[in-house]
Chains A and B, each alone.
Chain A
Amino acid sequence: MAYRRELIQIRPTNLGNGVFGSRAGLPQIIFEIPQVPKICNGKSLKISGKFKAQASTGVAPNNASQFFQQVAANTDNIVYMDGRTGISSCFDVVSIQSLSNGQTYENIKNYNRLCSSIMPLNESIKSYLNGGIDGLYGGLSKEVSTAAKCDKQFSFATPLWCGFLQGSPIDLNLVGGIRIVISLSPDNFVLRNNKWRFATNQGGQANGGAFYELSDMMLTFEAEVPDAEGQEAMMSNMNGAWEYNAYSSFYNVIQSNDHSAILNINTGRTIATIANIIPSSFLNNYNYNSSWATQLLTEDTAGTLKNRITMTDFTLTKGGLRIPLDFEVDSEDSQKNGTCSSAKNFEELNAIRPVWSLSNFEKSPTTELSLALGNVVAAGQAQDQARHSLQEQYSVCLEDKIKCDNFGVAYDHITNNGLNFKGTPLGLRIQSIAPTGTSMKPHSLFLYIKHKNTIVFNNGLVNVVS
């Protein structure tokens, strides 16, 4: 059977006037890929278009000339997006369904927060700045560079990091075509001002707030098209089974120094768990970056959540037993000493990609040791002082001094078949010590389970088995 490469280009079904976004009245984008005898290379699938940020005054932002100014000429015009996730921060929910019968193959809530974890584990600062990443994902990792890019409309062609697409090639005829529904994030999730740097810079909130628009949207992917004989064979095939990976998302709120969560994830072949944390007040707030993956934070003297709460232990269980790690991941000493927590970092880096094949990631001592220590005095440091402070001189070639923190563990990198969590819930325990005199503010915990699904096709009927 001979195959020919083709690039399939699909416009949104709900095109409207071509502009998507909350302010444009179209916060959802729907793409429908027809049921045709072609093989879709999901890894090549790109959502392309143009992104435009608008300041609350309805004009283009003016970050490039005022980013480092404590008292900017017009703080309302200092708004920009997250550099590590880029355009992916605009996608709140991504749902992949069968076009012919509506069966859901994968539904990722808080897709943008999943990207906060997995994208910095895929790219280094060098690939963000000079690796073509900004041309595709829209972000440059460094806040000042991403902010400058947001001053004007720019193009993007970003992949979707859904397990369904990132696995093996997809028989579009067998899956009955695909409908991809993308619900867009709120404007104040995607855009933020510069308050983190300068307390007085709290612009972007007047007149309904700064907003973003996506236009010229198109879905493209590489397809393998068989010859006539092959197409006929594909069309006559109504039965089969196909395995793919999928992410399931869970949400939790941390309100105590000893947080436990029991989740009935009910997945038969669980490959990995990855989670990230952010103060709940940072979410959907122009004053903060909603895409950050911080650790637990407490207030500094100005009342801003900037000081870290010492993490002591992190434990994962399966049905009450410590599985896959039969020990607590202890960070207490390293946190008290103001050094990186190696064991925790190792497990986190190993969660999605095997650590032995990991070469590019956005994690370094400058990101890990960037939060002020509160009233804990690290060795050789003054009280409250972070080893790598955002307030210091701008670094041209290192990562921004912003925490890139995850909790994660891989269950099975050898057979990739995972552990069975059916009937045995996943347990998560995070222990911490808040500095004396401080209280724990609510933090949002976004937890994602990467697991294997099987679709069984039987004479046109589709059944998804997880």
Chain B
Amino acid sequence: MNKSSGKQLPAVLRTDVYDVPVGQDINTDLLYPVNISQQGAKFVFPRKGVLDSNSQINISQTCNQIAGDETKCYLPTSTGALAMVRRAWLTIGGRRVSTLDQVGHYNTWKRLHFSNEYREGVAMPKQGGNDVFVGSTGKDIVAVGAVDATSVKQRGFLANAPNTGAGNGVLGRIGTEYSKDPATGLQRNTADKTTDSSDLITSNAATTPNYAIGLSQLIPFLVGVQLPLFAIAEEVALNVEWATSEFGHRFCVPQAQLANQNNIFSTIVENDVYIMADYMFFPAQMETLQEEIMEKGGFDIPYDEIQVQETTTAVLTQGSITTEIQLPLGGKVLKSVVVQQEITDGADEGLVNVGRYNSMALRQGQSVNLTIESRPFYANSISNPSLQLSEANAIESGIPLQLCMYKYSWDNQVNAFGVVDKAGITDRTFNGHISLIEMGSQFWTGVKLENMSGRGIRMSNLPAIFTRRATLDATNPDIGKQHRLRFFCKTARMLNISGGIVNMIE
């Protein structure tokens, strides 16, 4: 039987601020995979030092040319480079310690919590994507001869048809006002914004962009934990499985290439896949740590595991609909449930610009609830989209989702029958695709179950039941659509490192 030592990780093995100054050395190595293919890669860490969980994995892909021309494909806008990875898992001694399925989808949820400043300054240069919206106005440019005081104030764009997203006060990506004219290289007023050339995926491994992903983005176990590699006798390996090589999964296709989208495939640049691993050494403490781990009871490491479950729902029909999904989580300590409502179609490519990494709201709204132990968590199912947003915000330690309401739901944008009559997002285009497609495309809901001290609920054999209710009028464009409901259930786990061996306790 596996036993807990009752000892929590010392400060140097956590990512917290140290209680006292600690002398340390850092050694950075490039760690190449022990094997790699177009299906995945495996890295084995050397038994040295303490692995910094913020070590980065370098990754890049190419897309084939069509008729001798570059296709100018780009990364899904709210996911970035994480879209290249489907699954990642950490093994110690051959046993899976932590797994993250649907890496791209889960990290879209996580990225939506990055502040706009962080996204612009760190995430976009490091991991690609483009999902910061600012104020904007309509699409059609006023002819030079017709420029007047009104059009000048509107930045030269016509703005008189709110239901098409061309009204005043709509939101859009920065740069659509003054993007670069590809012919002249000069700035100009244009309705289209293209991905910066440095972020366009090319067919050449030497010119295609490289990106860096933090290990803790791939492996939830590493969030807050610095792994003491020196004290683990068994093999510690990181395994990565790539996402499907098609459009919508790893990359998005510009409007000009839509006709060729089924002929464009991505190839992972195998020579560019490596980990920039930071190993930390604490000269004054290594001996004590080693003694504690190798000769005494070792340390307990509590961590969160993300269990993913997905179900494709029935095609939406007119009238009242009720969708109930069972989440079997018997015996686990459940801390939160995040619900993604991905739109699906025959080609399974999701939305242009966003790819499969969407969570599409229903136009006439919906109510949500989660039944645990036969008791609904909410006395009244929550139907107010702002309250749904507020509840989703509670999950990530109160860090709110950073996106405009127009992307979160259709609220304020549709009439009583679900038809758009005042779009909140501009009709200007991004890589040729109209931005209106992103209305209501990031409707992530969820329920936080953990209490103020971070303790979840121990589940019995009764499954949790997620319930979605909605009513669709005959003219609602959602009719005929289908969703894949994906649940990210955060559960509490614990392992113990002692005697050089890692044992799962919880």
User: Which residues of A approach B to under 8 Å, CB–CB?
Assistant: 2-7, 9, 39, 41, 44, 46, 48-50, 63-70, 124, 126-127, 129-132, 134-136, 140, 142, 144-149, 151-157, 169, 216, 218, 220, 222, 224, 393-397
Contacts and interface: CB of A to CB of B under 8 A. Distances in A.
B161 A135 contact: no
A39 B451 CA distance: 11
B26 interface: no
B39 interface: no
Interface residues of B, number: 62
Contacts of B377: 6-7
Please report whether the interface of chain A is mostly helix, strand, loop or mixed according to DSSP: mixed
Given A129-B404, A144-B135, A393-B152, A149 B424 contact: yes
B416 to A, nearest CB: 10
Contacts of A3: 451-453, 455
Given A5-B451, A147-B169, A148-B170, A126 B394 contact: no
B404 A41 contact: no
A72 to B, nearest CB: 10
Given A4-B457, A136-B390, A148-B170, A130 B134 contact: yes
B393 A132 contact: yes
A146 B168 CA distance: 10
Interface string B327-340: 00000000000000
Nearest to B120: A126
Closest 3 CB pairs of A and B: A148-B169, A64-B167, A135-B405
B337 to A, nearest CB: 13
A389 to B, nearest CB: 11
B455 A68 contact: no
A466 to B, nearest CB: 28
Interface stretch (B190-198, B296-304, B310-318, B381-389): B381-389
B307 to A, nearest CB: 19
A134 B169 contact: no
Contacts of B132: 126, 130
B386 A135 contact: yes
A65 B424 contact: no
B137 interface: yes
Nearest to A8: B379
A67 B168 CA distance: 7
A67 B386 CA distance: 26
A397 B384 CA distance: 29
Nearest to A154: B412
A155 B404 contact: no
A68 B402 contact: no
Given A130-B134, A146-B169, A393-B153, 17 more contacts: A5-B449, A7-B378, A7-B391, A46-B387, A64-B159, A64-B162, A68-B168, A132-B405, A134-B404, A144-B168, A147-B169, A148-B422, A155-B409, A156-B386, A216-B384, A394-B155, A396-B155
B400 A154 contact: no
Interface string B457-490: 1000000000000000000000000000000000
A9 B135 contact: no
Contacts of B457: 4
A124 B132 CA distance: 14
Contact of B150 (A69, A140, A154): A69
Given A7-B378, A65-B167, A68-B150, A397 B134 contact: yes
Nearest to A157: B386
A224 B452 contact: yes
B415 to A, nearest CB: 9
A308 B334 CA distance: 58
B81 interface: no
Which of A154, A155, A220 has its CB near the most chain B CB atoms (within 10 A)? A155
B134 A126 contact: yes
A145 B154 contact: no
Interface in B358-403: 377-380, 384-387, 389-391, 393-394, 400-403
